[in-house]
A and B are shown apart, each in its own frame.
Chain A
Amino acid sequence: EVSLVESGGGLVQPGGSLRLSCTPSGFMLSPYWMSWVRQAPGKGLEWVANIKEDGGSENYVDSVKGRFTISRDNAKNSLYLEMNSLRVEDTALYYCARETPGGACYFDCWGQGTPVTVSS
Chain B
Amino acid sequence: VVMTQSPATLSVSPGEGATLSCRASQSIGRKFAWYQQKPGQTPRLLIYDASIRATGVPARFSGRGSGTEFTLTINNLQSDDFAVYYCQHYGTFGQGTRVEVK
Contacts and interface: CB of A to CB of B under 8 A. Distances in A.
A113 interface: yes
Contact of A45 (B43, B54, B55, B90): B43
Contact of B45 (A59, A106, A112): A106
B86 interface: yes
A47 B92 contact: yes
A104 B42 contact: no
For this complex, into which size category does the number of interface residues on chain A fall? 10 to 19
A104 B43 contact: no
Interface in B17-40: 31, 33, 35, 37
B42 A44 contact: no
B58 interface: no
Most buried by B among A61, A95, A110, A111: A110
The SS class assigned to the A binding surface is: strand
Contacts of A44: 84, 86, 93-96
Counting chain B residues whose Cβ lies within 8 A of the other chain, the interface size class is 20 to 34
Contacts of B90: 47, 104-105
A109 B39 CA distance: 18
A47 B54 CA distance: 20
Given A44-B93, A45-B86, A47-B91, A108 B42 contact: no
A110 B36 CA distance: 12
B86 to A, nearest CB: 6
Contacts of A107: 33, 35, 43, 45, 88
Interface string A78-112: 00000000000000000100001000111110111
Nearest to A97: B43
B49 interface: yes
A54 interface: no
